[in-house]
Structure 1
Amino acid sequence: MTNKANAQDKGNRAETKSGGKKLTLIIASAVLLLGAGGGGAAWYMMSRTQDGAQPQARQEPPVFVNLETFTVNLVSEHGDQHLQTNLTLKMESPSAADLIKLHMPEVRNRVLLLLSSKAASQIAGVDGKKKLASELLAEIKQPSGEGSPTHAVQSVLFTSFVIQ
C-alpha cells in the first residue's frame, strides 16, 4: 500500500503543480492584457492632445429667438396676395440673443422690407423658401450701426408660412 499511496501522492503533487502553473499563466496573461489596453488608451489620448486637437469642450445648447408674426403684401402678380409667416432665429450664444433683442425694431424693419419685395411665385416652392431664408439671414446679420459687430445668427427658420 505504501507504493500505491506514494504513487497517488506524486499524482496529486503533479496536478497541484500543473494547476498552479495554469493559474499563474492566466493571471499573468490578464495583467499583460490590461496593461496593454491601458497603455494603448493612454497613447491614444496623449496623441490627440499633442496633435493640436483640443479636448472637446462641452457644447452649449442652441439658443432660439422667436420673432412676432409678419404679415406683408407681396408684389402683385395676379391681384392682391399676402404672406403671413413666423420666423425663429438660431443664435450662436445667449449673449447674441440678448443683443439681437435690443435691436429688434431694426431687425423687423429689414425683414418686412425684404418680404414685401417678393412675389408669391418667387417664394412658393421649397427652393424659393430656402433662397428667402438665406437672404433673410444675410439681411439680419447686418450690423445695427457703424462700428457695431454683425449679429451672430446661425440660421433663419420658418415656423409658419402662408401665402393668400
Structure 2
Amino acid sequence: MAENTTADEAPAKKGKLKLIILLVVIVVLAVALSIAGTLWFLGGGIPGMGSDDNGSEEPEFVASTYVDLDDALVTTVRTDGRQRYAQVYVSFEAKNPEALEAIELHMPLLRSELTTVLSNAGFTELQRPEGRAELAGTMTERVNQVLEQEQEPVIEAVLFRNFVVQ
C-alpha cells in the first residue's frame, strides 16, 4: 500500500509543475505583447525592427547665421509738425551663407533702401510694437527684392538690435 501512495503523488507533482510553467509562460507572453502593442500604437515601432518608410524623414536642421549692420540707420521720420528722428541697428538672418555674402557685397544699395523704408514710416507707427514688426517685415521684403534683382539667394529676416525714436 505504501507503494501506491508514492506512485500517485509523483504524477500530481509533475502536473502541478507543468501548470506553473505554463502560467509563467503565458504571463510573460502577455506582458511582451502588451509592451509591443503599446509601442506600435504610440508610433515608435518595435525596437530592432527596421522601418521601410524612408520618405517620411524630417528635413535636416540648418542653423541660422547673422550679419550685423555696423553703423545705425539714422533718418528723420514723418510726424505732425516736429522733426523726429529714428535710429535703428539691424542684423540680417539667413540659413544660406551665400545670402550673407551677398548682403556684404551689396551693402551700400541695401543700406540706402533700408533708410528709405525707415524714413517713410510714421512716428506713431514706430512707437507701437506692431508698427515695428510691420517695419521689419517691410525691410525684409525690400532686401529680398534687391537680392532677387541681383540674382542672389534671399534672407530669412531683418532683425532689430536697437531701436530708438525721439
What's the TM-score once normalised by structure 1's chain length?
Answer: 0.76
Query: C-alpha deviations, 1:69-111, integer Å up to 9, x for none?
Result: 2222223533221111111222131221122122112111111
Q: Is the 8 A contact 1:72 1:83 kept in 2?
A: yes
Of 83, 86, 89, which residue of structure 2 is paired with 1:86? 89
Aligned to 1:107: 110
Aligned to 1:5: 6
CA distance in 2, matches of 1:106, 1:94: 19
Aligned to 1:128: 131
**Which letter does structure 2 place at the counterpart of 1:3?**
N
Aligned length: 158
CA distance in 1, matches of 2:86, 2:143: 19
SS of aligned partner of 2:156: strand
In the alignment, structure 1 residue 161 sits paired with structure 2 residue 163: yes
Aligned to 2:59: 57
Among the aligned pairs, what percent are the same residue?
A: 17
**Which letter does structure 2 place at the counterpart of 1:101?**
E
Q: Is the 8 A contact 2:148 2:154 kept in 1?
A: no
Q: Is the 8 A contact 2:137 2:158 kept in 1?
A: yes
CA distance in 2, matches of 1:104, 1:157: 16
CA distance in 1, matches of 2:24, 2:148: 78
Q: Is the 8 A contact 1:133 1:157 kept in 2?
A: yes
CA distance in 2, matches of 1:124, 1:78: 17
Query: C-alpha deviations, 1:19-77, integer Å up to 9, x for none?
Result: 22224434555666677667x8389944x54xxx5411321111222222222222353
Mapping of 1:20-31 within 5 angstroms?
20-26=21-27, 28-29=29-30
Tell me how far 1:112 sits from its aligned partner: 1.2
CA RMSD of aligned residues (A): 3.1
CA distance in 2, matches of 1:125, 1:14: 85
SS of aligned partner of 1:55: coil
